[in-house]
A and B are shown apart, each in its own frame.
Chain A
């Protein structure tokens, strides 16, 4: 299985801060890296797929980059509604699909 290591596992930030979350994979996955946002008691929401493709309706303050084994999610200016847990997911041809351990963004 392809392992995903997210860092940090949690962070404290303020409204307006720039937040960076990283995801490292145990082998190269090309651009098959997705980012999800999950709020308590809710299903995950797809933010970015294919490393950097922003989903419709997702604010432009979210961006993704990377390739191969190192990927990054950036929130350029944190808003109150962004406090949540973020997961990366690899969907390369090698199954199973796997998720990172999550990054909890707290106030």
Chain B
């Protein structure tokens, strides 16, 4: 069974950098697929932050510009998120998730099939 678990600080000061780690068990990151982050502000919908392939190839949401950096550590079976210049607007629950791609018959898909439980992050002084 694939399991993901986020870890990191629950409170970040404005202008500081958020660092989160997602630990994966039940599947080796180096075997493939994309590993990413999605966030949800309190009472609001879901926002895709980006993801990273096991090779290190990254995809980021342009709305976050150069604030986002993701990396993967296959030796620890972990991947991480760094988000700089945090503001109150970045207050959210941050989820890590696996994204798989494939095709079944005529239907092509790319979807987040396994998620961590989420970690709340508050930006406040």
Contact = CB atoms under 8 A, between A and B. Distances in A.
A97 B109 CA distance: 12
B23 to A, nearest CB: 15
Contact of B106 (A31, A44, A49, A102): A31
A102 B46 CA distance: 9
B123 to A, nearest CB: 20
Interface stretch (B8-16, B56-64, B75-83): B56-64
A89 B45 contact: no
Interface in B88-105: 95, 97, 99, 102-104
A98 interface: yes
Contacts, number: 79
Interface string B107-121: 111111101111000
Contacts of A96: 48, 50, 59-63
Number of chain A interface residues as a range: 20 to 34
A66 to B, nearest CB: 11
Contacts of A30: 108
Given A44-B112, A99-B48, 6 more contacts: A34-B111, A42-B117, A53-B109, A91-B99, A96-B61, A102-B45
29 contacts: A1-B62, A1-B63, A30-B108, A31-B109, A32-B108, A34-B111, A36-B112, A42-B117, A43-B97, A43-B115, A43-B116, A43-B118, A44-B112, A46-B111, A46-B112, A49-B109, A50-B108, A52-B107, A53-B104, A53-B107, A87-B45, A89-B112, A91-B110, A96-B61, A96-B62, A97-B110, A99-B45, A101-B45, A102-B46
Interface of B: 45-48, 50, 59-63, 95, 97, 99, 102-104, 106-113, 115-118
